[in-house]
Amino acid sequence: MRDFGKIIVGIREKKPLVYNITNLVVINISANALLSIGASPIMSFEKQEAADLVKISSALLINMGTPTQDTIETMIIAAKAANKIGIPIIFDPVGVGASSFRNDIANKILSEAKVDILKANASEVANLSGLKVQTKGVESCETIENITDITKNLAKELGCIVCTTGKTDVISDGNEVYLCENGHEALTKITGSGCMLGSIMGATAGVCGKDYLIAALCACLIMGISGEIAASKTNMLGSFQVEFFNALSIFEPETFNSARYKKL
């Protein structure tokens, strides 16, 4: 089962600090997702402390879900500091394609910083790839053909790992491609599933050495399997969220026995 078990144990042992500059909708659930898996969260928007926070963190998560001029500046400062000391950056371009403001922000971040993992839903990945795909705010709303090739090509173009989420998650470094089939539809009915996945990717990337392809795949498996476990306990969406956190908190190396993924 590759090194997934080692990653989950590593998170519990190291308790990696994940510095989240994320959106206002998910700030609490993302912090709780990290705590549930055994990592440590810090959430901050203030540029004056960005460089100091990077110094003590194992990974940086940048999520542009509720962008403001100020937070974007903080993201750029933090990202440059992260590049300097070599901690991984996970970038979630939430809602790119919905407004030209968001498109400009995503392009600015990608041109001014070296992102290690770009994690986005299919509409966002398609838009970043230059396809004019209809987007419904922050949700993916079209089935995009050839998403595997689009993901691989974007990874090659950006020189980073790209993880496209959906019923099947596609993860590529531009050469290798993994497909992760774990997950549950209930994950699409609560806000913040994709955002929590980005934060969890911060935890996996923070303990995986430099193998960010496996870190991204591992986070997708953790998310998908935990979603499946939660859905097996309840069909109520409120309880689903509680069960999802419960599943994260008792996730063990053996839990990866339910992993459904393949390498193309």
Ligand X SMILES: Nc1ncnc2c1ncn2[C@@H]1O[C@H](COP(=O)(O)OP(=O)(O)O)[C@@H](O)[C@H]1O
**Binding-site ranges for ligand X (CB under 6 A):** 121, 139-140, 165-167, 169, 183-185, 187-188, 193-194, 197, 220, 223-224
Choose the one of ligand TZP, ligand X, none that binds residue 25, judging by a C-beta under 5 to 8 angstroms depending on kind.
ligand TZP
If the CB atoms of residues 193 and 255 are measured against ligand TZP, the closer one turns out to be: 193
Q: What CA–CA distance (Å, rounded) separates 82 from 59?
A: 8
Burial class (CB in 10 A: 0-12, 13-18, 19+), 130: exposed
The answer to whether the annotation marks 119 as part of a ligand binding site is yes
Site for ligand TZP in 22-61 (CB under 6 A): 23, 25-26
If the CB atoms of residues 15 and 184 are measured against ligand X, the closer one turns out to be: 184
Question: 220: helix, coil or strand?
Answer: helix
Convert 194-218 to b/e letters by CB count within 10 Å (16 or more is b).
bbbbbbbbbbbbbbbeebbbbbbbb
The answer to whether the annotation marks 43 as part of a ligand binding site is yes
Residue 182 C-beta: closest distance to ligand X, Å:
7
Q: What CA–CA distance (Å, rounded) separates 98 from 199?
A: 22
Residues 6+ apart with CB under 8 A from 101: 67
The answer to whether the annotation marks 130 as part of a ligand binding site is no
Residue 114 C-beta: closest distance to ligand X, Å:
22
Structure tokens at 103: 């498109």
Q: What CA–CA distance (Å, rounded) separates 256 from 234?
A: 21
Which residues does residue 42 pair with via DSSP β-bridges, in sequence order?
A: 19
Instruction: Confirm or reject binding of residue 191 to ligand TZP (CB under 6 A).
Output: yes
The answer to whether the annotation marks 66 as part of a ligand binding site is no
Choose the one of ligand TZP, ligand X, none that binds residue 184, judging by a C-beta under 5 to 8 angstroms depending on kind.
ligand X
If the CB atoms of residues 158 and 190 are measured against ligand X, the closer one turns out to be: 190
Choose the one of ligand TZP, ligand X, none that binds residue 75, judging by a C-beta under 5 to 8 angstroms depending on kind.
none
Residues 6+ apart with CB under 8 A from 76: 108, 109, 112, 113
Instruction: Confirm or reject binding of residue 94 to ligand TZP (CB under 6 A).
Output: yes
Known binding site for ATP: residues? 119, 165
Q: Which residues are annotated as a binding site?
A: 43, 119, 165, 192
